[in-house]
């Protein structure tokens, strides 16, 4: 297989990637420092619990009282999307609660690999919770790769099975509003989390609880209460401070230097 | 007022239905004034030399055809008028058929494209893991698309891909993504930013706010925004007018939605 | 070992892909393009998983005569019928194209069209003015709505400029903040997965 790209000469990094490589390296370093501190029991800042996460147990409890199932979807993307990966800790937590309360957990997906991973996650969680007999493979459903076909199937399912709670945690496209209104019509308590910005307004308008952007990743890392995972969230917060300072520095340098902005040119090397 | 408070949502839906039928029966044609972004998109295509390489990535599927087809047809028609060599790829199997249908219609109008498949244009179609294929195309198009086109014909004998070997600035002048949500990001991350190739996004109107940060940062050369952008582009490029009617319909719908919002407030405010 | 091996494999594969994205030395070898082809092949193979999963679920539904089991027959006939057709004919042949444009086309357009209906009921519920913030939200929505549909420009010639300002300044500022946070979160998730800290997706407990 021949290579047709431009020659790189003595460069170490590909053109245009210096800024992102530096930021990623800094985040990795901060995470390792926080992991080290957590492992050795050193003092760490307090992490507030997001309301959207507190409500997960309540959603399953509500479904149990009403004798209706809980539904969860990781959206319509594949597992290379970090939003989809972030949905698995939430799925695990939901499955733990569903196993504890003996409430059916319906899981639908629009990607074959997500389906296989979700099935394994739910089954394993039920086994760990000592309720293996409650695991029903037919509650884990791959519906279609096409977002609209997927939404049509979920809308029909909501009409028939009327879940008491609906957790939408992942990446959604234009089908988001269809799912939200189907959930509202079924009388579901709805929690949505996504970092897909152009679907966020629909979620904020139509759902009872919404996790916006980074909150979904924080929720995923902190839901289990594992101190090691929580420590990495603190590293993310430090990094956010670094980025904010960088934005401020960029604004000042760009205002003073104009189009010749040396900071921008250096970061885009 | 009590009845309005408990308004069944189906009454609201009936209003949408009436607007839609009215827009179909009595089409209202509105030709908006071109925005700066649409004009930039037009100028970039207008500046192309005959034979310049253009990559067109189609993401939207069947659902968004009504909104996006006029835009894609207007841009492809303009590119054909400029004599550009067009390489089309798609992000899903359905997008690949949509692209084939729209380009088929454009090619039928121009002999250089009607009989020039493999020379003036090619449809690479869809490959599983489309982002990976797109990224791989920046260093070799034929290999990234498994050496065959949309219909399974070998790419090896096609002159267009002997000239346009890789999706980068060395071979191409412009890259487009026609998008309803998921296609613009890989185009920026894997093609525009690493190769420096100017990227133009044609997007459904719902998605346009999402593109603003990339536009402001210079990662996008231009954005053609929804039916309105399509209508502006058609007017600028002298292409058949199909989007004007859509703009008229969306204007009627916008006024209706605004009325519904005000009604919602009125109902909530009255004791 | 059963749990450690996939994590090690994942970490090494991830580190390798990261190296191909950033470092010229690895990128120039062209090895990453071999990895790309492997990913493409694995996704093509994954389609079979979905096919088998759907078949299993709907055969059981038919077998147990579950409610609406007749639709399961429709689904299986459509799925195997269309797949069988594409086994003998290319997607560009007249019959698959006809089915695509005249059966699937109207169905998907209808689903997309439903959004217009649902937006109305969502707008009726969600844009209530309760305080100053929600009042600003309503005003901005009204300005953008009329501006994007070209009505605003007919009312007052400065309308388009106002919409452009809203989109370019407050909207872009807010979206950038969310996007930067989300990107950091995504990067953090990637690092947690690569370090083997986050393994829920493998059916294993975290940590």
Residues 22-81 of C with CB under 8 A from A: 22-25, 27-28, 30, 33-34, 43, 46-50, 53-54, 57, 60, 67-68
- Lowest-pLDDT choice from A241-255, B34-48, C135-149: C135-149
State whether residue A86 sits within 8 Å of chain C by CB.
yes
**In the prediction, which pLDDT does A21 show?**
85
Per-residue pLDDT at A69: 97
pLDDT band with cut points at 50, 70 and 90 for residue B1: low
Mean pLDDT of A140-167: 92
User: Token digits for C195?
Assistant: 């370090």
Q: Compute the distance between CA of residue B83 and CA of residue B77 in angstroms, rounded to an integer.
A: 10
Cβ contact C175–B209 (<8 Å):
yes
* pLDDT at A9 > cutoff 70: no
Q: Which positions in chain C touch B222 (Cβ < 8 Å)?
A: none
- Which of residues 99 through 158 in chain C touch A, CB cutoff 8 A? 107-108, 111-112, 114-115, 118-119, 121-122, 125-127
Confidence at residue B106, expressed as pLDDT on a 0 to 100 scale: 96
Model confidence at A213: pLDDT above 70: yes
- pLDDT at position C172 over 50: yes
Calculate Rg over the CA atoms of chain B. Answer: 21
Taking all residues of chain C, what is their mean pLDDT, rounded to a whole number? 83
Structure tokens at C188: 């953090």
Residue C21's pLDDT is what? Answer: 73
pLDDT at residue C207 greater than cutoff 60: no
B198-219 pLDDT, tens digit each: 999 999 988 888 888 888 888 9
Q: Is B170 on the interface with A (CB under 8 A)?
A: yes
Split at pLDDT 50, 70, 90, the class of C5 is: confident
- Identify the three-state secondary structure at position B203: strand
Q: What Rg, from alpha-carbon coordinates, does chain A have? A: 22
pLDDT in tens, A236-264: 899 999 999 999 999 899 899 887 888 88
Average pLDDT score over residue span C131-153: 84
What ipTM did this prediction achieve? 0.84
Of A1, A15, A197, the CB nearest to B143: A1
Residues 6+ apart with CB under 8 A from A42: A36
Sequence-ordered list of residues with C-beta below 8 angstroms from that of C74, at least 6 positions apart, any chain: none
* Per-residue pLDDT, B271: 59
For B209, the closest of A5, A148, A198 (CB atoms) is: A198
Which subunits sit against B, judged by 3+ Cβ pairs under 8 A?
A: A, C
pLDDT at C2: 65
pLDDT digits (tens, 9 = 90+) for B9-40: 889 999 999 998 998 898 888 778 888 899 99
Identify the three-state secondary structure at position B115. Answer: coil
pLDDT at position A4 over 50: no
What confidence category does residue A1 fall into, taking pLDDT thresholds of 50, 70 and 90?
Answer: very low
Query: pTM, whole model, 2 decimals?
Result: 0.82
**A2 pLDDT above the threshold of 50:** no
Q: What percent of chain B has pLDDT over 70?
A: 97
Nearest by CB to residue C54, choosing from A17, A142, A181, is A142
How do residues B171-191 score in pLDDT, each as one tens digit?
999 999 999 887 898 999 899
Which chains border C (3 or more CB–CB pairs < 8 Å)?
A: A, B
Q: How far apart are CA C90 and CA C85, in angstroms?
A: 8
Q: How far apart are CA C187 and CA B190, in angstroms?
A: 17
- Give the pLDDT score at C35: 73
The answer to whether B127 contacts chain C (CB < 8 Å) is yes
> What distance in Å separates the CA atoms of residue A193 and residue C22, rounded to the nearest whole number?
30
- More confident: A4 or C154: C154
Considering chain A, what is the average pLDDT of its residues?
88
B100: closest CA among B127, B76, B136, B131?
Answer: B76
pLDDT of A98 higher than 70: yes
CB-based contact, A7 to chain B, within 8 Å? no
Whole-angstrom Cα distance, residue C150 to residue C18? 45
The two structure tokens encoding residue A83: 């939003």
Helix extents (H) in B56-148: 65-81, 93-107, 111-114, 130-137, 141-144
At residue A165, does pLDDT exceed 60? yes
- Of residues B61 and A1, which shows the higher confidence score? B61
The residue extents of the domains of chain A are 18-38+226-267, 51-222
Please indicate whether, in this complex, the C-beta atoms of C50 and A145 are within 8 angstroms of each other: yes
**pLDDT recorded at residue B77:** 97
How many Å apart are CA B253 and CA A228, to the nearest integer?
52
Residues of B in contact with C39 (CB under 8 A): 129, 132
| Contact present, A104 and A135 (Cβ < 8 Å) | no
Residue B223 near residue B229, CB atoms below 8 Å = yes
For B32, the token pair is 């908006």
Contact residues on chain B for A2, CB-CB shorter than 8 A? 140
Can you give the pLDDT at residue A231?
Answer: 87
- The C-alpha atoms of residue A5 and residue C187 are separated, in whole angstroms, by 27
Residue range C65-75: mean pLDDT, rounded: 89
Q: What is the pLDDT of residue A67?
A: 95
Task: State what percent of residues in chain B have pLDDT above 90.
Answer: 61
Phi and psi at residue B176, in whole multiples of 5°? -120, 150
**What pLDDT score does A8 carry?**
59
Q: What is the DSSP letter of C205?
A: -
DSSP state of C104: I
Q: Kindly list the residues from chain C whose CB atom is less than 8 angstroms away from the CB atom of residue B228.
A: 148-150
Q: What number of C-beta contacts closer than 8 Å exist between B and C? A: 155
Residue-wise pLDDT for B133-180, tens only, equals 898 899 899 999 989 998 889 999 899 999 999 999 999 999 999 998
Residue B116: the pLDDT is 94
* pLDDT tier at A212, thresholds 50, 70, 90: very high
Each residue of B223-261: pLDDT tens digit?
Answer: 999 999 999 999 999 999 889 888 888 889 999 999 999
Partners of residue A185 in chain C, C-beta under 8 Å: none
Say how many C-beta atoms besides its own lie within 10 A of residue A238's C-beta: 16
Dist. CA B213–CA C3, nearest whole Å: 42
Instruction: Choose from A227-236, B153-162, C93-102 the range with maximum mean pLDDT.
Output: B153-162
Interface test with A, best of C24, C42, C55, C199 (most A CBs within 10 A): C24
Contact C178/A28, CB-based, under 8 Å?
Answer: no
CB neighbourhood size of B154 (10 A): 10
pLDDT score of B9 = 83
- Using only the alpha carbons of chain C, give its radius of gyration: 26
How far, in whole angstroms, is CA A234 from its chain's centroid? Answer: 17
- Split at pLDDT 50, 70, 90, the class of B89 is very high
C-beta separation of B20 from B257 below 8 A: no
For C148-176, b/e burial (b = at least 16 CB within 10 A) is: bbbbbbeeeeebbebbeebbeeebbeebb
A3: pLDDT strictly greater than 50: no
E-only strand ranges, chain A: 70-75, 105-109, 140-142, 165-171, 189-194, 209-212
Give me the mean pLDDT over the C7-26 stretch: 80
pLDDT beyond 90 at C33: no
Please give the DSSP secondary-structure letter assigned to residue A14. P
For domain A51-222, which architecture applies?
3-Layer(aba) Sandwich (3.40)
**How many cross-chain Cβ pairs, A to C, lie less than 8 Å apart?**
195
**Is the minimum CB–CB distance between B182 and chain A shorter than 8 Å?**
yes
Q: Which of B229, B192, B155, B176 is nearest to B53 (CA)?
A: B176
In this structure, the dihedral spanned by the alpha carbons of residues B237, B239, B245 and B247, taken in order and rounded to 10 degrees, is -20
Instruction: Give B104 or C44, the one with higher predicted confidence.
Output: B104
Residue A7 in this model has a pLDDT that exceeds 70:
no
């Amino acid at each position: 297989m021949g290579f047709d790209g431009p020659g790189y000469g003595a460069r170490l990094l590909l053109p245009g990637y210096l800024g992102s490589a530096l930021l990623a390296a800094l985040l990795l370093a901060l995470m390792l420092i926080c992991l080290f501190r957590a492992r050795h029991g050193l003092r760490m800042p307090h992490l507030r619990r997001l309301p959207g996460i507190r409500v997960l147990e309540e959603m399953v409890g509500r479904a149990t009282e009403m004798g209706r199932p809980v539904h969860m979807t990781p959206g319509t993307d594949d597992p290379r999307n970090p939003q989809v990966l972030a949905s698995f800790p939430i799925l695990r937590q939901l499955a733990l609660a569903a196993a504890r309360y003996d409430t059916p957990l319906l899981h639908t997906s629009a990607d074959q690999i997500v389906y296989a991973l979700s099935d394994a996650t739910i089954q394993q969680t039920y086994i760990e919770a000592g309720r293996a007999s409650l695991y029903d493979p037919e509650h884990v459903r791959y519906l279609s790769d096409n977002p609209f076909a997927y939404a049509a199937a979920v809308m029909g399912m909501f009409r028939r099975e009327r879940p008491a709670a609906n957790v939408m945690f992942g990446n959604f496209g234009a089908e988001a509003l269809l799912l939200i209104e189907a959930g509202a019509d079924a009388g579901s308590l709805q929690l949505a989390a996504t970092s897909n910005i152009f679907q966020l307004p629909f979620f904020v308008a139509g759902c009872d609880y919404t996790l916006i952007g980074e909150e979904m990743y924080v929720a995923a890392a902190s839901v289990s209460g594992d101190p090691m995972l929580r420590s990495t969230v603190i590293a993310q917060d430090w990094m956010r401070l670094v980025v904010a300072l960088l934005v401020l520095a960029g604004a000042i340098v760009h205002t003073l230097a104009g189009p010749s902005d040396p900071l921008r040119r250096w970061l885009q090397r | 007022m009590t009845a309005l408070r408990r308004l069944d949502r189906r009454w609201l839906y009936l209003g949408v239905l009436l607007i839609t039928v009215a827009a179909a029966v009595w089409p209202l044609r509105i030709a908006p004034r071109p925005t700066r972004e649409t004009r930039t998109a037009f100028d970039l295509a207008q500046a192309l030399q005959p034979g310049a390489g253009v990559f067109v990535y189609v993401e939207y599927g069947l659902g968004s055809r009504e909104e996006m087809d006029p835009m894609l047809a207007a841009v492809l028609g303009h590119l054909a008028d400029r004599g550009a060599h067009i390489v089309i790829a798609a992000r899903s199997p359905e997008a690949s058929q949509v692209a084939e249908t729209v380009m088929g219609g454009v090619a039928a109008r121009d002999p250089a494209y009607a009989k020039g498949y493999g020379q003036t244009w090619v449809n690479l179609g869809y490959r599983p893991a489309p982002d990976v294929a797109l990224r791989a195309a920046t260093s070799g198009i034929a290999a990234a698309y498994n050496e065959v086109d949309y219909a399974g014909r070998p790419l090896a004998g096609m002159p267009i891909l002997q000239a346009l070997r890789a999706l980068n600035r060395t071979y191409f002048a412009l890259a487009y993504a026609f998008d309803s949500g998921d296609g613009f990001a890989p185009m920026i991350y894997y093609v525009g930013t690493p190769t420096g190739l100017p990227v133009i996004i044609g997007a459904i109107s719902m998605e346009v706010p999402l593109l603003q940060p990339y536009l402001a940062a210079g990662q996008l050369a231009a954005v053609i925004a929804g039916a309105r952008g399509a209508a502006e582009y058609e007017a600028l490029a002298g292409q058949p007018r199909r989007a004007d009617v859509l703009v008229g319909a969306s204007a009627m719908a916008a006024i209706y939605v605004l009325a519904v919002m005000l009604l919602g407030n009125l109902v909530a405010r009255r004791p | 070992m059963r749990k450690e091996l996939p994590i090690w494999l994942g970490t090494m594969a991830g580190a390798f892909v990261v190296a191909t994205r950033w470092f010229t030395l690895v990128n120039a070898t062209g090895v990453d393009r071999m990895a790309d082809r492997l990913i493409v092949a694995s996704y093509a193979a994954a389609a079979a998983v979905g096919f088998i999963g759907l078949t299993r679920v709907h055969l059981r539904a038919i077998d147990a005569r579950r409610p609406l089991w007749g639709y399961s027959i429709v689904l299986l006939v459509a799925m195997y019928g269309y797949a069988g057709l594409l086994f003998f004919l290319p997607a560009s042949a007249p019959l698959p194209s006809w089915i695509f444009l005249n059966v699937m086309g109207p169905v998907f357009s209808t689903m997309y069209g439903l959004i217009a209906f649902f937006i109305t009921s969502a707008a009726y519920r969600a844009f209530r003015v309760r305080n100053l913030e929600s009042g600003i939200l309503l005003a901005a929505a009204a300005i953008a709505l009329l501006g994007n549909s070209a009505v605003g420009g007919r009312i007052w010639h400065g309308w388009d400029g106002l919409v452009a300002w809203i989109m370019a300044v407050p909207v872009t500022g807010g979206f950038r903040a969310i996007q930067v946070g989300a990107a950091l979160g995504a990067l953090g998730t990637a690092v947690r997965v690569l370090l083997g800290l986050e393994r829920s997706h493998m059916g294993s407990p975290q940590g």
